[in-house]
Amino acid sequence: MVSDPHTTLSQRLAGSGLRLTPQRELVYGVLLSQRDHPSAEDVFARVKGQLPSISLATVYNCLETLVNCGLVKQVNMERGPSRYCPNLHEHAHLHDEISGRVFDLELPADLAARLHLLLPAGYSLSAIELNFHARPAVPLQEAAAASHAEGQEAGAEKPAPTQIAS
C-alpha cells in the first residue's frame, strides 16, 4: 500500500526531526510530477511557477534534505549540474548523449543481485549506480542517405525513436 506523497514526505521528515514546509513539499512535488531527472536550476524554474518568492538556495537546501531523508537520489553521470531522481526502486540510468536527457531503466532483480555480489569483502554497500551513455542509433536507411550529405550538426535535432513516455 503506497501512501500519498504528502504523507510520505511528512513522515520521512518527522523521522529526522525536520519540518514539513511548503518549499519542501513543492520541490518534492515537482520531482514526482516530471521524472526527467531535473537539475537544481530546473527544479528552481518549475517551483518558481508555483511559489515565485522561493530562492535558489532554498531549492538546494530542500534537495539536500530530500536526499538525506532517502526520498530522492542525486544523480551524477558526468560533470555538470547534479540531477535529482525520486525513483526509489533499484534502477539504472540511460543518458542520451544527443538530447542530454536521462531515462530510468528497469534493472532485473537477478541481475541486481549479481551486481551486489561484486562488492569486495570488508565493505558495506551504500549504493550501486549503473549508467548507460548512448546515442540514438541511426536507422540503416538514413545512415546511407546521411553518408552522401556529410556535415556535423550540433545539439538536439530529431525526435527520439521508440521512447519511453515521460
Among 58, 66, 93, 95, binds DNA (CB under 7 A): 58
User: Residue 64, interface with DNA (CB under 7 A)?
Assistant: yes
Considering the complex, what minimum distance in angstroms separates the CB of residue 27 from Mn ion?
23
Nearer to Zn ion, 38 or 65 (CB): 38
Considering the complex, what minimum distance in angstroms separates the CB of residue 93 from DNA?
16
List the single partner that 87 binds among Zn ion, a second copy, Mn ion, none, CB under 5 to 8 Å by kind. Answer: Zn ion
Contacts of the segment 59-63: beta carbons below 8 A, 24+ positions apart: 59/23, 59/27, 62/23, 62/24, 62/27, 62/28, 63/27
Nearer to DNA, 98 or 115 (CB): 98
CB distance 6 to 25 below 8 Å: yes
| Exposure b/e, 138-164, CB count within 10 A at least 16 = b | eeeeeeeeeeeeeeeeeeeeeeeeeee
Considering the complex, what minimum distance in angstroms separates the CB of residue 109 from a second copy?
13
